[in-house]
């Protein structure tokens, strides 16, 4: 199933789950490093750059729920 078939909120939730798994394997010291490592992998999996950035930000902020607080 293509990522584009999901709404943006569903894409962000899925990307955040993947980002959490990838980050747990090799935590990066900062946002830029995480974006370079995890964000690139998310984009390769079909997520947009904006969704990949938001997922990385969510994981680094320590929130598993990507919805606004």
pTM recorded for the entire structure: 0.77
The answer to whether residue 11 is domain-embedded is: yes
- Name residue, tokens 């607080």: 69
- The first and second tokens of residue 17, run together, are 């789950």
Domain with 45, as residue range(s), is 7-60
The answer to whether residue 45 is domain-embedded is: yes
The answer to whether residue 69 is domain-embedded is: no
Q: What is the pLDDT along the chain (69 residues), one digit of tens a residue?
A: 466 677 889 999 999 999 999 998 887 678 899 999 999 999 999 999 999 999 999 999 885 555 544
Q: What is the pLDDT of residue 69?
A: 41
Number of domains making up the chain: 1
The answer to whether residue 23 is domain-embedded is: yes
C-alpha closest to that of 22 among 49, 48, 44: 44
């Amino acid at each position: 199933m293509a990522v584009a078939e999901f709404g943006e909120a569903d894409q962000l939730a899925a990307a955040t789950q993947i980002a959490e798994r990838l980050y747990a394997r090799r935590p990066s010291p900062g946002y830029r490093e995480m974006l370079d490592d995890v964000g690139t992998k998310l984009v390769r999996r079909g997520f947009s750059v904006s969704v990949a950035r938001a997922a990385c930000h969510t994981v680094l902020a320590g929130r598993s729920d990507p919805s606004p607080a």
